[in-house]
Amino acid sequence: MSQDSLLRVERVTKAFDGLVALSEVSLEVRPGQIKGLIGPNGAGKTTLFNLIACCLAPTAGDIVFCGRSLVGLPPHRAAELGIARTFQNVQVFPGMTVLEHVLVGLHRQAQAGLVACALQTVRLRRTERRLREEAEALLDRLGLLPWAEVPVETLPFGLLRRVELARALAVRPKLLLLDEPGSGLNPTEKQAMSQLVRGLRDEGITVFLVEHDMTMVMGLADEVAVLDHGALLCEGPPHLVQRDPRVVAAYLGEGDDA
């Protein structure tokens, strides 16, 4: 494997009470690329994301990010190391505004302990002001500024995906995990989302995404990996993967000709 990979998944197996969700999956994500992960429902895509984000621990195998193993780390450590994510079924904080979502994302930068927070130290207030500016800049970039002070539960779904993205970006990630960024969006919104993701890549953020919409993922990804029944089927540039008979079989059911 090349030295320059950002993320390396090495022979990872994950079992839940004996049911194997992933078996011996190995793949890598190189810095600066957009990598897609596809596969039928239940193939283990989200499980893999949860493993990378340290929400789950692998039963066997290793996951290496920037040269250090992620196995056994709590999820917030993964974020601190530079892995941010969005969720398949949007996970927002009810009752909080869009701006606050981003500020939570900037949490790590506040460097504020509970005591400092309770006493509202001068330094904390200065930091807070700086963070607020930074958050607004980020919202501006994602076109969310008009909704900055709006509680999220009043927003349409399409915007929520973007709020999640903004929150993830606030972590200043090296690697961004997007779990079905296009689902629930209309074609226009999907376009915009693709545009956004490409922009991020151009800024140097590596993107690893799960996506069901083949058009979107094939148009977006530099490289695609295919999971089926918990195993890696194939990996490669989109146009090659698309033609791989195993992939076609997995999607259309075995015995069918594509």
Partner 1 sequence: MAEPATTELPARTVPGPRGPAPGAFAARRPSSRVVLGTASAVLLLVFWALGRRLGYGLSEYLQLLVDGTVTGSVYALVAVGFVVVYRVTGVINFAQGAFVMLGPMLAITFFRALGGSGGLALAAAAAAAVLATALVATAVHRLTLHPARAASALTRIIITVGVYIALQGLALRVWGPRPYVMPAFSTLHMADRFLEVGGVTLQAQSLWVWGLGLLTVVGLVVFFEHTLVGKAMRACAVNRTAARLMGIRVDRMATLAFALAGVLGAVGGIVLAPSTRPTYDMGLDLGLKGFVAAIAGGLVSLPGAVAGGLVLGVLESLWAGVTVAGFKDLFAFVMLILLLLARPQGWLEGGHE
Partner 2 sequence: MTARAWAGTWFLAAAGVAVVGAVELAWPGTAARLTRGLVSTDLLIRAGLFTVVLVGLNLLMGYAGQASLGQAAFYGLGAFASAIFTVRAQALGIPASVAGAWWWPWLVMLLAAVAVGAFALAVGWVILRLRGHYLAMATLGLGIIVYIVLRENLGMPHLNLTGGFDGIVGVPRLRVGGAELWPVQVYYFVVWAAALASMALGLNVVHSPAGRALRALHGSELAAESVGVDVGRLKAQIFALSAALASVAGSLYAHFQAAVVPDTFGFVPSLELVVMSAVGGMSSIWGAPLGALAVLLLEQLLRTHVLGLVPAVSGELEPVVFGLVLVVIMMFWPAGLVSSRRVQGTAWASR
What is the binding site for partner 1 (CB under 8 A)?
Answer: 16-17, 19, 21, 40-42, 44, 46-47, 50, 55-57, 72, 212-215, 229-230, 242, 248, 250-253, 258
Taking CB under 8 A as the binding criterion, the range among 40-48, 81-89, 226-234, 246-254 that sits at the site for partner 2 is 81-89
CA distances from 198 to 86, 150, 169, 181, 201 (A): 16, 27, 14, 13, 5
Min separation Cβ 248 and partner 1, Å: 8
Taking CB under 8 A as the binding criterion, the range among 19-27, 110-118, 239-247, 248-256 that sits at the site for partner 2 is 110-118
Burial class of residue 172 (count of CB atoms within 10 Å of its CB; 0-12, 13-18, 19+): middle
Measured between alpha carbons, how far is 239 from 104 in angstroms, rounded to an integer? 39
Q: Which does 122 bind (CB under 5 to 8 A by kind): partner 2, partner 1, none?
A: none
| 132-161: contacts with partner 2 (CB under 8 A) | 151, 153
Q: Which does 188 bind (CB under 5 to 8 A by kind): partner 1, partner 2, none?
A: none
Provide the Cα torsion 205, 84, 207, 251; round to 10°.
180
Does 79 bind partner 2 (CB under 8 A)? Our answer is yes
The strand ranges marked E within the chain are: 7-16, 19-29, 34-38, 60-65, 68-69, 83-85, 175-179, 206-210, 223-228, 231-236
Strands of the 68-69 sheet, one edge to the other: 19-29, 7-16, 60-65, 68-69
Min separation Cβ 177 and partner 2, Å: 9
- Report the interface residues with partner 2, using CB under 8 A: 53, 55, 74-76, 79-80, 84-85, 87, 91-96, 100, 103-108, 110, 112-114, 116-120, 124, 128, 131, 151, 153, 164, 167-168, 170-171
